[in-house]
Structure 1
Amino acid sequence: MKLEARQYQIDDVNYAMHHGKDDKVIHCSPTGSGKTVIQCQIAKRELERGDSTAILTPRNEILDQTLGLARQLCGAGNVSVLRARRQGETWNPVNPVHVVSWPTLISRAKRSDFWFPKVQRLLVDECHLAVAPKILEILRHYAPRARIDGYTATPARLTGRGLGYFFTQIKHVTTVRQLIKDGWLAPVEYYGASVPDLTGIRVRKGDYETKKLSAACVELVGDAVDNWLRLASDRHTITFAVDIAHAEALAARFRAVGVRAAALHTGMDQTERDKVVAAFKAQRIQVLVNVTIASYGFDAPTVNCIQSCRPTKSIVLHLQMIGRGMRPAKDEHGNVIKDREHPDFKRCLMLDHAGNTQALGMADDLFRWRLDEGRQAAGNWSRHEASGEAEESKVHKCKDCGHLFQRSRVCPMCGWKVPFAKRDVDVKEGDLVPIGRNEGKALPADWVSHEVFYAMLRHYAANKTTKNGRPYSNMWAVHKFEEKCECRPPHEWNNHAMVPPDERVKNWILGSKIRFLKGRQKAESRS
């Protein structure tokens, strides 16, 4: 089948071919966006102009995908592979295109007779993992003579720290939200379940201490399996566990209820792991319980359920886990099914037993990243250059069905409504009224209610003018209400009748002016 690059892939290839030689660029592109396609297209373009390329990959699973595509685009005779010796594979350092395993390169670099391939372009896949001193030493070896580009969906280390220790800029290729809209990624439905008690579990290097975390999560093994049976019993599933003991316990519990499940972890030798992965991709195994192995570079488009039983503080790990289930379904001809009415259109289910979605956000939130810190305060996309936290990431959990949703106050599954935060306050007549959406500060007992206080502020604003003769705006009343009550008044209160302020409110307004003027005088005297 002919490979057709998507427009955002073409744009990124063009950018990579023309950026400055001293620019070490991270190309931030979501899981499933085709980063391997972009890298191999760059290698092809370099080959066409007579230059050579090396593509560095962290794992054999990723290397196999990259090698196949590189041979297809660049010609098998031009591509050399460097990894632990396999039958029929040889490495020729003078070839124009190299697909390289990091661990093998690090191992070979220790030998005095090793010959680094001379390349004009170095492409680093999953570059957020390039933090070990040995791989950094190799990157710095190439830095003076080659253009270096890193590719990742999450440009930060697992600890949350940024990648500015080597790279100089970040280019955002596209977003998860846009890829879902265009049909290149599957949408995700989220469900929250019981979460472990993390009280007393220490955080080390940006994430929970594994030993105690595992003990807390093992207690919920039965609940995790029960919820999967209720919501996802017909789905091809990847489950994420804390450690080997937790993974084995989950897999055993699944098998005990008749589910074809297997654990996958570093305690298994490579041959055994390969057999498990092959059986899972062939759908002879329905549930794959893994410990980080399938968190990146694991391509299994048939997966349509992700179960997170591994609490984390790492936004990187959280997004990588969800991304495993977002690759779209394809028809018998290998074409992506984009039509949402198609019977085989894929919707991924995310079962969150860790509380990660509510804490860290959803995969299609808009993210911004920066080089010095991996995750920063949420902010507006256009005004905050360096935000790495999800915008609009307030995630609600339905009290009736457990569905997780955002950008709405009504559960799209069952219609449950998110209640407004309320606070009962004393009013003059002795009744109780809600402040509104946000919790606020109670007014003095002998004052009027919050609603009447706001009506008095609006009346004051409507009858006052500035020195220039302009009337006060209604926002003045809003700001004054916030100053006193520490919350915003509900919008519907603007439709209520205005009330002339009483003496207490007038005195408070005057005192507020005096405090403002004194504060400005102090600031001017300091300057």
Structure 2
Amino acid sequence: MELRDYQTEARNAVFGEWEKGVQKTLLVLPTGCGKTIVFAKVAEECVRRGERVLILAHRGELLEQASDKIAKATGLKCAVEKAEETCMGSWYRITVGSVQTMMRETRLSRFAEGYFDTIIIDEAHHCLSESYQKVLEHFPGAHVLGVTATPDRGDMRNLGQYFESLAYEYTLPKAIRSGYLVPIRALTLPLKLDMTGVGVQAGDFRAADIGTALDPYLDRIAAEMRKYCMERKTVVFLPLVKTSQKFCQILNDSGFKAAEVNGGSADRAGILEGFEKGKYNVLCNSMLLTEGWDCPDVDCVIVLRPTKVRSLYSQMVGRGTRLAPGKDSLLVLDFLWHTERHELCHPASLICQDEEVARKMTENISAAGCPVDIEEAEKTASADVVAQREEALAKQLAEMRMRRKKLVDPLQFEMSIQAEDLSGYVPVFGWEMGPPTDRQKKTLEKLGILPDVIDNAGKAAKLLDRLDRRRAENLTTPKQIRFLEGRGFRHVGTWDFDSAKNLIDRIAANGWRTPAGISPQEYRPDTGQAAV
């Protein structure tokens, strides 16, 4: 099987991390981008090197998928470690194992600590649980690869407690732009669902409370769906089985061909097959279909199970991102959940690294009143936030001008060079979260950056790295940025060093006054604007 470019890069990056001494590394690919194929190829290479590989998952469907994909992608067969089945005595070098089975002491004690050379964890956001950790600790010398569709570093902050590095990340926007996933259009429906009485359990909203809060709105949600979903193939995620069953009946009474599926459904396979073949156009479920199920022609997803967990939200929406004939986009219906908490996931959570941009994007989508492409919405929200930050920065600079006479505020520097990766940076791994070292602060100040407001070593390291790269690329220095932007010139960080130097020399030669004929607000070095 021929890998896509990003899949080849991902596989090579994983081995690159292991070869430089990193034992536990992460791979992040959006749902629908072939993460199983990538780790199948990783497993194949490990076998070629004479290693034994264990693939761990928490659900039987994921194990079956992994085994099937490995066979199709590599031709290699897998042994199974689940229930009565075991890999002991098998010729196969790859084992797929259920964590519920592997964690049992009677099962785990059969294996020497060096039995597996490599462990691959599917849906790695589950791996911090006690059951996974018990298995991982039994094989202390194994290389570990965690694979997840977690969309941003907010969730990965927790994974950083175990994993030592991020080997490779392929983002949802890249996948959409490259044509590997369909564009996503988000629509906020004007229903204000009251969530103020919903409690929190294990870090997320309590499902039973959500079900109670949701019940009074089900008829109105069905009425809204009639406007947008009658001609679409829709999956609805709900908090409880009884809520899912009730909503399914309401949809059928409203003219939909709806079916409901749950863990206790007697004919689950038949229902899913009927949906795939068009017998039903809406499928309701109580969080059953978040992992291990694919139906590429799903073109509408409705999340009626509000969550604070981005990886869970991404999994739900990911049921509709795959390509299919005749499918041009995925419609995601969002709701005005009324809650005092601000960490609720929305379509913006799929694409935004910056929380401020995500909030603005959610606000803009809500005000639009029609489906909005989330990439376009993110660009608009980013521009809005930049404008707001520039306004706030202008006030801040006015108040602190005297103290910052000789140094550039990091935020001003980041905005001037238009570095969203710096302004939206969130530390992930342990060393990044510590305070900047004295050496980092001294070097930043020497290079013209005010270090006082940088609160972690990761951000300091990124700034220093960016300054080194800019020096190598002959771009403006922080001191040039400070001087020229202090005179009203804009985005000096995007200029080259020589253009800034020449302009400063002209200003100096003119008695430190801006030459006549130059408007700082309009001046661009590539326009060839000259003094009169």
Please report the TM-score for the alignment, with normalisation by the length of structure 2.
Answer: 0.65
What one-letter code is carried by the residue in structure 2 that aligns with 1:187? P
Aligned to 2:47: 47
Say whether the 8 Å CA contact 1:83–1:105 is kept in structure 2: yes
Aligned partner of 1:120 in structure 2 is 117
Match of 2:289 in 1: 294
Q: CA deviation at 1:212?
A: 2.2
Gaps of 5+ in 1: 331-343, 369-376, 380-388, 413-419, 422-435, 442-453, 477-493, 496-527
Q: Which residue of 1 aligns with 2:413?
A: none
1:199 to 196, 199, 214: 196
Q: Verify the 8 A CA contact 1:192 1:355 in the aligned structure 2.
A: no
CA contact (8 A) 2:24 2:144 kept: yes
Is 2:13 the counterpart of 1:15?
yes
- Matched ranges for 1:340-379 at <5 A: 344-353=326-335, 355=337, 360-362=345-347, 366=351, 378=355
Within 5 Å, which residues of 2 pair with 1:186-335?
186-193=182-189, 194-266=191-263, 268=264, 272-330=267-325
Q: How much does 1:232 deviate? A: 1.4
2:143 equivalent to 1:147: yes
Question: Matches of 2:178 and 2:484 in 1, distance apart?
Answer: 49
The residue that corresponds to 2:511 in the other structure is none
Question: Secondary structure of the residue that 1:278 maps to in structure 2?
Answer: helix
Give the Cα–Cα distance (whole angstroms) in 2 for the partners of residues 209 and 98 of structure 1.
36
Cα separation, partners in 2 of 1:157 and 1:131, compared to 1, 3 Å: farther
Q: Separation in 2 of the partners of 1:246 and 1:214?
A: 6
Partner of 2:411: none
Structure 2 distance, partners of 1:130, 1:355, is 30
Find the partner of 1:5 among 3, 6, 9.
Answer: 3
**Which residue is equivalent to 2:64?**
64
**One-letter identity of the residue aligned with 2:118:** R
Q: CA deviation at 1:245?
A: 2.0
Amino acid at match of 1:349: L
Q: Per-residue deviation at 1:148?
A: 0.5
The separation in 2 between residues aligned to 1:259 and 1:225, in whole angstroms, is 9
Which string of whole-angstrom CA distances, capped at 9 and with x for unpartnered residues, describes residues 477-500 of structure 1?
Answer: xxxxxxxxxxxxxxxxx89xxxxx
> Alignment partner for residue 183 of structure 1, among 179, 183, 196?
179
What SS class does the counterpart of residue 301 from structure 2 fall into?
Answer: strand
Partners in 1 of 2:155 and 2:170 — Cα distance?
A: 24
State how far apart, in whole Å, the 1-side matches of 2:484 and 2:297 are.
65
Q: For the Cα contact (< 8 Å) 1:158–1:314, is it kept in 2?
A: no
Which residue of structure 1 lines up, in the alignment, with residue 445 of structure 2? none
Q: What is the CA distance between 1:263 and its match in structure 2? A: 2.1
Amino acid paired to 2:174:
Q
Preserved contact between residue 221 and residue 250 of structure 1 (Cα < 8 Å): yes
RMSD of aligned Cα (Å): 4.3
* Letter of the 1:303 counterpart: V
- What one-letter code is carried by the residue in structure 1 that aligns with 2:238? A
In 1, the alpha carbon distance for the partners of 2:179 and 2:89 equals 40
Letter in 2 for 1:179: A
Equivalent residue, structure 1, for 2:517? none
Q: Deviations over 1:142-193 (max 9, x none)?
A: 232x110000011799988612332222234211101101110011111111
Length-normalised TM-score, structure 1: 0.65
The structural deviation recorded for 1:365 is 5.4
Letter in 2 for 1:396: N
Flag the 1:301–1:358 CA change in 2: closer, same or farther, 3 A. Answer: farther
Counterpart of 1:346 in structure 2: which amino acid?
D
Greater alpha carbon shift after TM alignment, 397-406 vs 42-51: 397-406
Distance 1:327 1:92, change over 3 A: farther
Distance (whole Å) between structure 2 residues aligned to residue 264 and residue 27 of structure 1: 31
Per the alignment, in what secondary structure is the counterpart of residue 161 of structure 2? coil
Aligned to 1:83: 82
Identity over aligned residues, as a percent?
23
Q: Which amino acid aligns with 2:122?
A: D
Cα distance change of structure 1 residues 472 and 196 upon mapping to structure 2, 3 Å threshold: closer
Secondary structure of 2:320's counterpart equals coil
Unaligned runs of 5+ in 2: 407-482, 491-520, 523-532
Answering whether residue 364 of structure 2 is matched by residue 396 of structure 1, we say yes
Q: Are residues 1:105 and 2:102 paired?
A: yes
**How many residue pairs were aligned?**
400
> Could you say which structure has the larger radius of gyration?
1
Structure 1 Cα separation of the partners of residues 378 and 73 of structure 2: 48
Q: 1:36 offset after TM fit, Å?
A: 0.3
Shift in Å at residue 55 of structure 1?
A: 1.5
1:472 to 1:102, Cα distance in 2 relative to 1, 3 A: closer
1:95 matched residue in structure 2: 92
Counterpart of 1:341 in structure 2 is: none
Q: Do the aligned residues in 1 keep the contact of 2:234 with 2:300 (CA within 8 Å)?
A: yes
SS at match of 2:260: strand
Cα 1:152–1:140, aligned 2, differ >3 Å: closer, same or farther? same
SS at match of 1:293: coil
- Classify the secondary structure of the residue corresponding to 2:120: strand
User: Where does residue 417 of structure 1 map in the other structure?
Assistant: none
Deviation, structure 1 residue 199: 1.9
Distance 1:24 1:187, change over 3 A: same
Deviation at 1:398, TM superposition (A): 5.4
Asked whether the equivalents of residues 403 and 411 of structure 1 are also in contact (C-alpha less than 8 Å), the reply is no
Counterparts of 2:348 and 2:267, CA distance in 1: 32
2-structure distance, mates of 1:155, 1:345 = 23
Deviation by residue 1:60-109 (Cα, 9 ceiling, x = unmatched): 22222211121123435x421233459xx9875442111222233335x4
For 2:335, the aligned partner's letter is H
SS at match of 1:238: strand
Correspondent of 2:126 among 117, 125, 129: 129
Which deviates the most, 275-284 or 50-59?
275-284
Amino acid at match of 2:75: G
Residues 475 and 215 (structure 1), Cα distance of their counterparts in 2 relative to 1, 3 Å cut: farther
